[in-house]
Amino acid sequence: MKIKRSAASAVFDTVNVVCMALLAVVTLYPFWNVFIISISPTAEADAYGLHLWTSHPLLTGYQMVFKNQQMLISLRNTFVRTALGTVVNLALCCLVAYPLSKKYMPLRNVWTSLIVFTMFFSGGLIPSYLLVTGLGLTDTIWSMILPGAIPTYSMILVRNYFQSLPPDLEESARIDGANEIAVLLRIVIPVSVPIIATVALWSAVGHWNAWFDALLYIRTPKKIVMQLLLYRMVIQGTNEHLTQLAGSNEAEFKPAVSILKAAAIMVSSIPIICVYPFVQRYFMKGIMVGSLKG
């Protein structure tokens, strides 16, 4: 059966489609612009204006990126940091959120309030630096992971999701003799995939994009992460890093600066973007359920 639509409804849908299309173009164009610059000849890459396509696609920038040892080492360090940091965040979030989701836990509201307090107030940069240095974590990967091991907002969402689960699931497991750890690992976590996938995505993106903590705590060049190297190349525009990456002297390298920067940005962006399609189907459900119940 056909439903007759009014003229106002048709106009409303048309405006929505046009606005969403414009929003998609505005969102995707910067990424497309960087990609086109990364495969363009030097003359086109350095030209002003919109970069919609290139007449002679080249992979020179990517070849320089993947031939450079420092770039590969920093990319490896970023993968290690992201994987280890995400695992630590998820493990500690679940271990803290599970007891806080139980009404029978003594002083539950007090502990929750103390943890939420850290969302709004912190010791500051200098005390944090002194703490990390005093613990002997400087120039180690743990200096970039342990200070943010429990993301408070993510933990609150996980706690709320755990509270929304039917109590019967846990009670049936306890009747069979399961303790709290067994209930968490075998019952609660398997049915909480949406919120866990959501928190894992947030944590992975946060670790992948982080560079400031590496700037503060990492001293050895072989331990820096990709984003810090990218910061020095793109934001600071340090010729030393660009020349080293190109493997040539500054005069030979200067025309290819924009191409190399664009290629480095693409290499650092694509891996984390590829994660989104695998987590997207859990994202909205995890956000909605985790944010409803306080």
Confidence of residue 253 (pLDDT cuts 50, 70, 90): very low
Cα(262)–Cα(274) distance, rounded to whole angstroms? 18
**Could you report how far apart the first and last alpha carbons of the chain are, in Å?**
44
The pLDDT, as a whole number, for residue 237 is 58
Q: Which of 35-39, 90-94, 166-170, 247-251 reaches the highest mean pLDDT?
A: 90-94
The model's pTM is 0.81
CATH number of 62-292: 1.10.3720.10
What are the domain boundaries of the chain? 7-58, 62-292
**Phi, psi for residue 56 in degrees, rounded to 5:** -135, 85
Question: Measured in whole angstroms, how far is the alpha carbon of residue 30 from the centre of its chain?
Answer: 19
Confidence of residue 44 (pLDDT cuts 50, 70, 90): confident
Please tell me the predicted confidence (pLDDT) of residue 250: 46
Q: What is the pLDDT of residues 184-232, one digit of tens each?
A: 888 888 888 888 988 998 899 999 999 999 999 999 989 999 998 888 8
Mean pLDDT, the chain, rounded, equals 83
pLDDT digits (tens, 9 = 90+) for 183-192: 888 888 888 8
